Copies of this chain bind each other. A is one copy, B any other.
Amino acid sequence: MPFGNTPSVDTSNSPNARLKPVPIEAVQLEDRFWAPKIQQMRETTLPTQHRILEETGRIDNFRRAAGKIENDFQGLYFNDSDVYKWLEGCAYSLAYQGGGEVERLADSVIAEIAQAQCGDGYLNTYYMFDREDQRWTNLRDMHELYCAGHLFSAAAAHHRATGKRSLLDVALRFADCIDNLFGEGKKEGVPGHEQIEMGLIEIYRETGEARYLKLAQFFLDKRGQNLIGGGEYHQDHKPVRELDSVVGHAVRALYLNAGAVDLYMEMGEEALMEAMTRIWTNMTERRMYVTGGVGARRAGEAFGGDYELPNEIAYSETCGAIANALWNWRMLLATGEARYADVAELATYNGALSGISLDGRHYFYVNPLASRGGHRRQRWFGCACCPTNIIRLIGQVPGMIYSTSENAVWTHLYAASSAKANVAGAEVSIQQRTDYPWDGAAEMELSLDKPARFALNLRMPGWLRSAKIEVNGETAEASAPGSYASIERDWKSGDIVRLALPMPIEQITAHPYVEAAAGKTALKRGPLVYCMEDEQAPAAGVIADGQMTHAYDKELLDGVGAIHFEGVAGETEGWENSLYRRRADMSEEKSALRAIPYYAWANRVEAPMRVWLHLR
């Protein structure tokens, strides 16, 4: 096996990262939630996306740049980034399971990319030939640095996954080209769409070349100096360290934050982390959907003001929830604080996962929390950022389950799996048996090459009310929800840890200022947000103190848990000629209603959907 060490974010040598990921290839999923998705990604999604990248001219753009074909540049000026993001997804898939069609496709695409690169290292297929003289002339709008950043991220992941330098060498040549041009005393500028910060830091981590880290810092430091117009949309209204709220284009804002945390993990500058904490507080207390989705406004694909979280017109772009997961994953690596794992989990299982259909071939760009019906995922988009982004996230999931720190193994996401980690000089294998997220019971059986003393830090999710932990049948102390229960002891092979993380169905209520949700209830169980999806959904109400049960239904939506509850059907009919009616004139028959996981909506009938349900 030529494969190396492939964490999605490689903090193994980052001096200010509290946690080191247990890499993707060290984990094998055996669950019925993620394992089929990872397999589907390999077998269906990645090959299908490759076909579309070909059909839409995205790969031809590289062939054209290489002089191999003659035609016009096809599509949007940032289409190169889709190819890079697809390759990053391939890298995670290959880290999980090498070889096969994915490896073959990836190698072929990398070959096309390599041939398109200019002699000086420059690589952007839009700016070839007659557009050469426009290179680097519009950093705000033209996504040149953004595309480069995705190349760097993909290249680092690909090298880690396969040991092959084919994409990494291309990336480093382009990074050197950019580094020659930009920097203190050289050309000044910042990207209008952030991403290169993360990308540069990953190739720094992969190569140890400090100039890439320095360049990432340069691009962060120069924000807020009006180099690209000073707008909130581009997070250029203030220096990064002075930010106190999430504003502007949601994906840009959170990619910036993710890059800032990466920089913090390398440099340790507390002012950066303080800014990130302020922003995080603003976002989670004022500007995030109950699904972990972000970016309420369609206009500018942007964060709204405080408590501006409409349901039906929610933008909540798939990429926004992905960016939220990526940022929070880095906040978790930096700090080991469970609150970040809570948000990463929430965004991953709900707001992001809703972006891809159960068949792995259709995508949502926008993820509303209410629909009058008719919302369908699409095969592709003109601006196709979301399809290639969701595979980056799903591909990283195996690497987000465990991590280590000095003398500790940490669990973050729970999933039936077997994994290996090195801690306290021992190699520890963990066999995890659980039906998470459908059930909160989990059992971990440890095997060690030799007995060792370390802490097993078990995440107590924030959605918990209370947990129970047993080690070898004896009660161990659980900690509060939203923390890690740390069990430090001498571990040996055959030790068994049992967790009970009860998942009652929770009725969630929203801050009174959230106009479209306040006074309503959202059903949540464990990490999953549920929704009603049927003709009754718009008018239905939850009987506040009614019975609610949860049951897994293997026939429903490829197998999901469903919440069955007592409700009031309400009247969706008979409204045609009225906007307002007397409540007394409406029938409110008691009815047995059902909610399904939000991520799985719009995979059956084209029915109305509601996350926030009326209370009765």
Chain A positions near chain B (C-beta within 8 angstroms)? 284-286, 288, 290, 307, 310-312, 370, 372, 506-516, 518-522, 538-539, 541, 544, 570, 572, 575-584, 586, 613-616
Contact = CB atoms under 8 A, between A and B. Distances in A.
Contacts of A310: 310, 515
A290 B583 CA distance: 14
Contacts of A541: 519
A288 B579 CA distance: 8
Contact of A519 (B307, B372, B519, B577): B519
Contact of A512 (B286, B539, B615): B539
Nearest to A520: B519
Interface of A is mostly: loop
B577 A518 contact: no
Contacts of A576: 285
A245 to B, nearest CB: 14
A332 B159 CA distance: 77
A56 B157 CA distance: 67
A311 B288 CA distance: 20
Contacts of A515: 310-312, 370, 515-516
Contacts of A285: 576-579
A283 to B, nearest CB: 9
Nearest to A586: B509
24 contacts: A285-B577, A285-B578, A285-B579, A286-B579, A288-B579, A290-B580, A506-B582, A506-B583, A507-B584, A508-B582, A508-B583, A509-B582, A509-B583, A511-B575, A513-B538, A514-B579, A515-B515, A515-B516, A518-B614, A519-B520, A519-B613, A521-B583, A544-B616, A615-B615
Contacts of A509: 580-583, 586
A518 to B, nearest CB: 7
Given A511-B579, A521-B583, 5 more contacts: A285-B577, A290-B580, A508-B581, A519-B519, A519-B613
A372 B513 contact: yes
Contacts of A510: 579-580
Contacts of A518: 538-539, 614
**The 4 A-B residue pairs with the shortest CB-CB distance in the complex, in nearest-first order:** A519-B614, A512-B538, A507-B583, A512-B539
Contacts of A578: 285, 511
Q: For A506, A570, A583, which residue has the most chain B Cβ atoms within 10 angstroms?
A: A583
A615 B285 CA distance: 25
Nearest to A290: B580
